[in-house]
Amino acid sequence: MRKLDFRLDIDNLYLRLLEEKDIPELLKLYQDNWAFLQPWEPYRPESFFTSDNFRYMVQADQAATCADEAYAFGLFLADSDRLIGRYRLSWVMRGCAETCNLGYFLAEAYNGRGYSTRAVKRIIRFAFEELGLHRVFAATMINNIASQRVLEKAGFRREGTALRFLKINNRWEDHCMFAITTEDLPQ
């Protein structure tokens, strides 16, 4: 069984696995940023934005962490412990793959400060050093240039385009595929 108390420090920020105590703040983060996030997210019915749903999400993520299948972190400001983003390693595959997917979002008010780039760099180190993975991949919609820049600054390489990869706002969207492997990290 995996421990559930990872904390990854990053200067004036830190990543911590989300817990049940974070549910009200996580729900508020999504609600407050929905207009900003909506172009990049799947369709969300009204029932998505409930405490019960977010409790289910956090509990499912905790179970996935125990099973070594996913790791859902909140990004917090160190001085105030304010939750400003969610970063999740999912689809963890072991054996000959040793890989996972990275997905993330940062509150609109904190964009443009380098927070996501620093968080992504730290979570990659966690994936490689703590989890022993070999590859982390990520996908962004073709027109999500800001997210592509975050991945590139964090050392990811563009690997191609996946046609109709994810259903975003009820429409199948093409995505740019990115990846980084342990060999890509500076020695």
pLDDT digits (tens, 9 = 90+) for 28-72: 999 999 999 999 999 999 999 999 999 999 999 999 999 999 999
Whole-number pLDDT of residue 4: 62
- Determine the average pLDDT of the residues in 85-93: 98
CA distance 150 to 176: 13
Q: Which CATH number fits domain 7-184: 3.30.70.1060, 3.40.630.30, 1.50.10.20, 3.40.630.190?
A: 3.40.630.30
pLDDT confidence bin for 3, thresholds 50/70/90:
low
| HSE-up (13 A, CA, CB side) for residue 90 | 13
Is the pLDDT assigned to residue 5 strictly greater than 90? no
pLDDT confidence bin for 1, thresholds 50/70/90:
very low
Is the pLDDT assigned to residue 10 strictly greater than 70? yes
Whole-number pLDDT of residue 186: 73
Give the start-to-end residue ranges of the domains of the chain.
7-184
Whole-number pLDDT of residue 39: 92
Whole-number pLDDT of residue 140: 97
Nearest alpha carbon to residue 176 among 136, 135, 147 = 147
Per-residue burial over 133-162, b = 16 or more CB atoms within 10 Å of its CB, e = otherwise: bebbbbbbbeebeebbebbeebbbeeeeee
pLDDT digits (tens, 9 = 90+) for 116-166: 999 999 999 999 999 999 999 999 999 999 999 999 999 999 999 999 999
